């Protein structure tokens, strides 16, 4: 009865639906209005490319996650976040969607590592290609568990505007659709519609008659086979199952009922399982279970601002009871059904136990399950994962599974230890005190942290070849040479401070000796003036225009001699002795030169200098000679 109802429904509307769908797909270029009329140079587009999640909800979750973590603007330009998704990896459709969704010159394609092949394929089709985007304006970012908002912001910031795209044109040209592709898409859409509604019908009826099905499993089995015979040969490519054009009014492509009611197998982030339980020697009246989904559990990580959710938690399907009728055949005769009593076996993957650091992310390595009858039933494993990486402790993850006969596997567990991070080693490495405590009074060093120097001044007469410094440094640090070790400070010494984390800092210690508090003051000439000026002079000295020479000493001295001599010939000079204006035991001497010479004949033109000899009034009576820093330029023509 069920097969008749479904067959009548499909046959009645087949031609009408197929015609409408083919018309829409064939003429869609003329009907389509682009979602983006401009290709703006002001803004960024982030497209999440998804071939990993089993349904579009997964792509939306990641898109929303990106939207909540990324800023609304960058460099004063709006960030637009969207996604590309195709449950059948239809690249042509996804390229068409991309042409509608990209409205800015700058584009970043984002994907999980598992989708690197897909996203790189898109990049190669649009980067600096005809109808695409110049490569300096488009990039690819591959996300993993360590991805942060800053990683993506940096990638966006590297994108550049270009002068090749016009604001009035689409950023990416839509792909050209072949006639075959459009017909195939129309038929595929129709098949999806029929399968989806037939599946719902079967599930509804099966659930309504569940209690009866349990009691009369064999009857439901036979009914299922009858329905299956109505819908038998649907292939993955529906185009191949089309009837000949001459029979399209009377014949409808058959559909395999097992495809309509097949269970939706649990899927994780790495994609759907490639194996399903073996159907060898088994005939089953199937009631479709509720679709299982991979639910990403979002978890904030304020320390690293992780963008991705933690690993999806697989929620196993809850299916109505199923009546399994297993027939074993021995030879050509019949026999009693053999009951499957062997439980499946779970094999844990990865480390057990596992150790992670507090606050880090944790992705469980999972497990596999196999059964002697059903084969690989990994996708049916029920995982209870209580790990909380924000709280230190030991957590037990459990893995359980049962086969189609209801045999429970032995539970397998994994211990995950969440440990507090080790206390970081100290990097402190400074000198806080450097003193000579053994000196009296104690000498305290001056520490310059900017230049990393230590300066000390010791009293006059201190022996700097054997000084013992007392040094104080950062906690948990060490110093070389060590504190309280005798050193020769005649020259600066380099001290190296090593922190607990092995980093180092050098300091240079310099010791200065204070001046003698009672120094012996030696006599010296502190002032020279020629005609009242402290500087060179040009003159023709004579009786009417003599040169007045005034000398000043730093203390009272005996004025031994004042000699004015030619720099080029020391035998041409004038010499004065103490006497009038230049009295011994005083600190001032004044002499007047009228041009006369003591030796060398009449005055000649030339450069003359003043040489003064004075005697210390101390007990040693030492004579000291001083030469004037100024010269006398004699010009007899003046």
pLDDT in tens, 167-219: 888 888 888 766 555 555 655 555 555 555 544 444 444 444 444 444 444 44
Read off the pLDDT of each residue in 525-543 and give the average, rounded to a whole number. Answer: 94
For residue 22, how many C-alpha atoms fall within 13 Å in the half-sphere facing its CB?
12
What share of the chain in percent tops pLDDT 70?
66
| Residue 255: pLDDT over 90 | no
Q: What whole-number distance in Å separates Cα of residue 47 and Cα of residue 42? A: 17
Angle made by CA atoms 73, 79, 83, in degrees to the nearest 5: 155
Query: How far apart, in Å, are the Cα atoms of 213 and each of 6, 312, 451?
Result: 20, 35, 89
pLDDT score for 184: 59
Q: What whole-number distance in Å separates Cα of residue 198 and Cα of residue 4? A: 12
**pLDDT band at 283, cuts 50/70/90?**
very low
Nearest to 591 by CA among 568, 606, 611: 611
pLDDT score for 490: 96
Nearest to 483 by CA among 492, 493, 474, 473: 473
pLDDT score for 270: 39
**pLDDT band at 311, cuts 50/70/90?**
very low
Query: How far apart, in Å, are the Cα atoms of 482 and each of 472, 498, 615?
Result: 10, 11, 53
pLDDT score for 46: 92
Beta pairing partners, 123: none
pLDDT digits (tens, 9 = 90+) for 424-452: 999 999 999 999 999 999 999 999 999 99
| Residue 591: pLDDT over 80 | yes
pLDDT score for 634: 94
Pairwise pLDDT comparison (335 vs 67), residue with the higher score = 67
pLDDT digits (tens, 9 = 90+) for 465-479: 999 999 999 999 999
Residue environment code for 365-377, b if the CB has 16+ CB neighbours within 10 A, otherwise e: ebbbbbbebbbbb
Nearest to 477 by CA among 494, 502, 445: 502
Residues 6+ apart with CB under 8 A from 94: 49, 84, 85, 86, 122
Please, what sign has the CA dihedral across residues 207, 213, 219, 221?
positive
pLDDT digits (tens, 9 = 90+) for 331-385: 444 455 688 999 999 999 999 999 999 999 999 999 999 999 999 999 999 999 9
Query: How far apart, in Å, are the Cα atoms of 84 and each of 60, 118, 463?
Result: 10, 11, 83
| Residue 78: pLDDT over 80 | yes
Nearest to 229 by CA among 25, 3, 469: 3
Read off the pLDDT of each residue in 397-420 and give the average, rounded to a whole number. Answer: 95
Q: Which of 282-286, 470-474, 547-551 has the lowest mean pLDDT?
A: 282-286
Q: What whole-number distance in Å separates Cα of residue 197 and Cα of residue 199? A: 5
Distance of CA 123 to the CA centre of its chain: 23
pTM as predicted: 0.32
Instruction: Supply the angle between the helices 2-26 and 217-230 in degrees, to the nearest 10.
Output: 40
Read off the pLDDT of each residue in 228-249 and give the average, rounded to a whole number. Answer: 36
Q: How much is the mean pLDDT over the chain?
A: 75
What share of the chain in percent tops pLDDT 90?
45
Other C-beta atoms closer than 10 Å to the C-beta of 414 total 23
pLDDT digits (tens, 9 = 90+) for 107-142: 998 887 667 777 777 788 788 888 888 988 999 888
Read off the pLDDT of each residue in 536-562 and give the average, rounded to a whole number. Answer: 94
Read off the pLDDT of each residue in 86-96 and give the average, rounded to a whole number. Answer: 74
Distance of CA 362 to the CA centre of its chain: 19
Here the tokens at position 319 are 């299916």
pLDDT score for 8: 55
| Residue 617: pLDDT over 70 | yes
pLDDT digits (tens, 9 = 90+) for 26-60: 554 444 444 445 789 889 999 888 765 557 777 78
pLDDT score for 202: 45
Other C-beta atoms closer than 10 Å to the C-beta of 341 total 8
Q: Which of 81-85, 240-244, 345-349, 607-611 has the lowest mean pLDDT?
A: 240-244
Residues 6+ apart with CB under 8 A from 137: 105, 106, 107, 159, 160, 161, 162, 165
- All domains of the chain in start order, with CATH: 2-26+179-262 (no CATH), 33-157 (3.40.50), 312-330+340-419 (2.60.40.10), 431-513 (2.60.40.2340), 525-634 (2.60.40)
pLDDT score for 49: 84
Pairing of strands 504-513, 453-458: parallel
Q: What whole-number distance in Å separates Cα of residue 308 and Cα of residue 362? A: 12
Other C-beta atoms closer than 10 Å to the C-beta of 466 total 11
Pairwise pLDDT comparison (150 vs 304), residue with the higher score = 150
């Amino acid at each position: 009865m069920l097969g008749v109802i479904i067959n009548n429904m499909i046959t009645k509307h087949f031609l009408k639906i197929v015609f409408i769908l083919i018309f829409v797909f064939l003429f869609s270029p003329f009907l389509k209005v682009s979602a983006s009329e401009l290709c703006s140079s002001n803004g960024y587009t982030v497209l999440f490319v998804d071939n990993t999640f089993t349904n579009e909800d997964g792509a939306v979750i990641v898109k929303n996650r990106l939207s909540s973590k990324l800023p609304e603007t960058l460099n004063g330009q709006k960030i637009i976040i969207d996604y590309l998704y195709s449950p059948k990896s239809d690249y042509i459709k996804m390229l068409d969607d991309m042409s509608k969704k990209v409205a800015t010159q700058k584009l970043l394609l984002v994907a999980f590592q598992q989708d690197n092949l897909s996203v790189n394929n898109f990049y190669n089709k649009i980067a600096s290609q005809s109808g695409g985007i110049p490569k300096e304006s488009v990039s690819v970012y591959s996300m993993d568990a360590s991805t942060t908002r800053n990683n993506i912001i940096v990638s966006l910031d590297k994108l550049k505007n270009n002068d090749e795209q016009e604001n009035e044109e689409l950023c990416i040209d839509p792909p050209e659709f072949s006639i075959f592709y459009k017909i195939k898409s129309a038929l595929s859409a129709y098949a999806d519609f029929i399968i989806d509604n037939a599946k719902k019908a079967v599930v509804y009826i099966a659930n309504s008659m569940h209690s009866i099905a349990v009691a009369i499993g064999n009857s439901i089995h036979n009914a299922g086979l009858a329905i299956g015979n109505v819908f038998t040969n649907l292939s993955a490519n529906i185009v191949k199952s089309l009837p000949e054009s001459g029979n399209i009014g009377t014949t409808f492509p058959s559909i395999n009922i097992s495809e309509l009611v097949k269970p939706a197998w649990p899927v994780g982030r790495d994609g759907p399982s490639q194996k399903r339980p073996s159907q060898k020697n088994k005939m089953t009246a199937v009631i479709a279970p509720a679709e299982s989904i991979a639910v990403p559990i979002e978890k904030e990580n304020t320390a690293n601002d992780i963008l991705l959710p933690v690993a999806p938690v697989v929620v196993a399907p809850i299916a109505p009871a199923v009546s399994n009728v297993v027939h074993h055949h021995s030879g050509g005769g019949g026999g009693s059904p053999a009951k499957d009593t062997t439980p499946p076996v779970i094999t844990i993957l990865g480390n057990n136990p596992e150790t992670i650091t507090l606050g880090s992310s944790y992705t469980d390595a999972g497990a596999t399950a196999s059964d002697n009858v059903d084969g690989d039933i990994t996708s049916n494993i029920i995982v209870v994962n209580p790990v909380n990486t924000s709280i230190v402790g030991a957590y037990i993850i459990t893995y359980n599974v049962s086969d189609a006969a209801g045999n429970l596997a032995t539970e397998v567990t994994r211990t995950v230890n969440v440990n507090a991070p080790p206390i970081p080693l100290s990097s402190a490495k400074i000198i806080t005190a450097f003193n000579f405590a053994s000196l009296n009074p104690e000498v305290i060093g001056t520490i310059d942290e900017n230049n990393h120097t230590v300066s000390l001044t010791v009293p006059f007469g201190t022996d700097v070849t054997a000084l013992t410094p007392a040094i104080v440094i950062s906690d948990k640090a060490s110093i070389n040479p060590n504190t309280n070790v005798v050193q020769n400070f005649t020259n600066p010494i380099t001290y190296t401070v090593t922190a607990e984390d092995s980093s180092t800092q050098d300091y240079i210690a310099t010791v200065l000796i204070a001046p003698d508090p009672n120094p012996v003051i030696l006599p010296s000439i502190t002032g020279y003036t020629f005609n009242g000026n402290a500087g060179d002079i040009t003159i023709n000295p004579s009786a009417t225009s003599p040169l007045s020479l005034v000398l000043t000493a730093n203390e009272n001295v005996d004025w031994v001699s004042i000699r004015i001599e030619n720099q080029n010939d020391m035998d041409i000079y004038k010499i004065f002795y103490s006497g009038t204006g230049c009295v011994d035991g005083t600190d001032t001497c004044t002499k007047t030169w009228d041009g006369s010479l003591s030796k060398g004949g009449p005055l000649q033109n030339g450069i003359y200098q003043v040489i003064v000899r004075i005697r210390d009034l101390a007990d040693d009576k030492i004579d000291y000679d001083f030469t004037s820093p100024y010269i006398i330029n004699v010009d007899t023509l003046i």
